[in-house]
Amino acid sequence: MTGACASPVAWDTLADYWAGDLPPPAEEAVDEHLMGCAACSAVSARVAAIAETLRTEIPPVITGDELAALRARGLRIVENPMAPGARKPVVFPAGVDLLIHRLGGLDLTRATRVAFILRVEGTGRVLVDIDDAPFDRAAGAVLVACQKHFAALPPDTVAEVRARDAAGAEVAATYTILHRFDGG
C-alpha cells in the first residue's frame, strides 16, 4: 500500500507506541497495522525519530541521579571539576559523549534555590538562564552537561551560580570555561 491510509494510526497512539506506554494488545494492533501500511509506517518513522531525539536530549544542568542514569546508559563521560573564580581551558575530547563541568566550592547545604546563568565572556550575551537549577546539596556542586553540539557556541563562557537559603542569604561564584573541541 503506497497511498493514504483508510484508518491511520493517530499521532498520540504512535507517540505512546514509541514511548512503550501502550498495553500489549494495543501495541500488537499497531505492530500489525504498521506491517501492512506504508503510509502509517512513514508517519511512525517520523514519530520514532522525534521520540529518540527527546530520549537523548540532555538538559544543560543535571542532577547527580541524572548523571548516574547517563552513565548507566553507557555514555562516555568526562568530568571537569572547577572551583569558584577558576578560569580554565577545557578540551572536550574526541570519543566522549558528555563533558560534565562540576562547579563546586560553594556551601549549598542550606540552599533552597540555585540560579544558573551561562554567558559569553566576550559579549555578555546570555546563553542559558535557569532560575531554579538542580544542584547537588551534599557535594556543593552544580553539574553542567556539555554536549558535542555545543561546539557551535562561543568558546569563552562564564558560568554564574547563585544560591539562596530560606533566610534570603545568598552565595555566588563564577567559573570561566574556555572550551575547545577535539575532532572525532
* pLDDT value, residue 184: 45
> Residue 157: which of 136, 178, 183 has the closest Cα?
178
Task: Return the CATH fold of 61-181.
Answer: Immunoglobulin-like (2.60.40)
How far apart are the C-alpha atoms of 184 and 181, rounded to whole Å?
9
One-letter amino acid for residue 8 of the chain: P
Q: Smallest Cα–Cα separation from 136: which of 99, 86, 169, 100?
A: 100
Which residues, in sequence order, are CB contacts of 124 under 8 Å at separation 6+? none
pLDDT in tens, the chain (184 residues): 347 899 999 988 988 888 777 899 999 999 999 999 999 999 888 887 766 655 567 889 999 999 999 999 888 999 999 999 999 999 988 888 899 999 999 999 999 999 999 999 999 999 899 999 999 998 899 999 988 767 777 889 999 999 999 999 999 999 999 988 875 4
Sequence ranges of the domains in the chain:
11-56, 61-181
Q: What is the pLDDT of residue 110?
A: 93
Give the three cell numbers for residue 182: 577535539
pLDDT score recorded for residue 180: 86
What is the model's pLDDT at position 66?
A: 92
**Planar angle of CA 44, 46, 52, nearest 5 degrees:** 100
pTM attached to this predicted model: 0.70
In this prediction, residue 16 carries a pLDDT of 82
User: Taking the alpha carbons of 29, 34, 37, 43 in that order, is the dihedral positive or negative?
Assistant: positive
